[in-house]
Amino acid sequence: MSRWKRREQDPRDPARAPSPSKEQPRLPYPDGWFAVATSGEVRPGKVLTRRLKGEDVVLYRTTSGRLSVVRPFCPHLGAHLGHGGTVRGDNLVCPFHQFQFDPEGTCVKTAYGAPPPKARLATLDFREVDDLVFVWSHA
């Protein structure tokens, strides 16, 4: 007979209650287009972070005026592109190791002079309508 007893989950005892992340489902967001910014907020050369369904997205406009919306983390080492990321020409530059990504999310340059890796940013579908930037989100 074992002296060790399995701890039973008891919702009245916080130390034995099941973890909240396992019992609470994600919020029920609908699929669709969500307005995340006005066109005037995303000026050429500017990087902007916004929340979409509880997660960050990064918007930026290249110096030539092209808008892009991406997931916030650099695929190299996970730096948040909305915190210190800059626009250099038509590329979004990671604040950590200066990797540069084009508007389609492809890594096109590194600060080391080495060939760029096949890393890509996750891009999001967006539309600019009536001076608003809408991002498509699908569960």
* Residue 131 zone, left/alpha/beta (φ > 0; ψ -120 to 50; rest): left
Domain assignment present for residue 23? The answer is no
Is the pLDDT at 10 greater than 70? The verdict is no
Please tell me the predicted confidence (pLDDT) of residue 88: 96
- The angle at the Cα of 98, spanning 93 to 52, to the nearest 5 degrees, equals 40
Domain assignment present for residue 56? The answer is yes
Give the CATH number, domain containing residue 50: 2.102.10.10
What is the reported pTM?
0.77
Is beta strand 55-61 parallel, antiparallel or unpaired with respect to 100-101?
Answer: unpaired
Look up the domain containing 62 and give its range. Answer: 36-137
* pLDDT band of 84, cuts 50, 70, 90: very high
pLDDT tens figures, 22-33: 555 567 788 899
Is the pLDDT at 20 greater than 70? The verdict is no
3-state secondary structure of 108: strand
- As for how many domains the chain has, the answer is 1
Report the mean per-residue pLDDT for the chain. 86
Higher pLDDT, 21 or 3: 3
Q: List Cα–Cα distances, 49 to 69, 92, 117, 130, in angstroms.
A: 10, 13, 25, 21
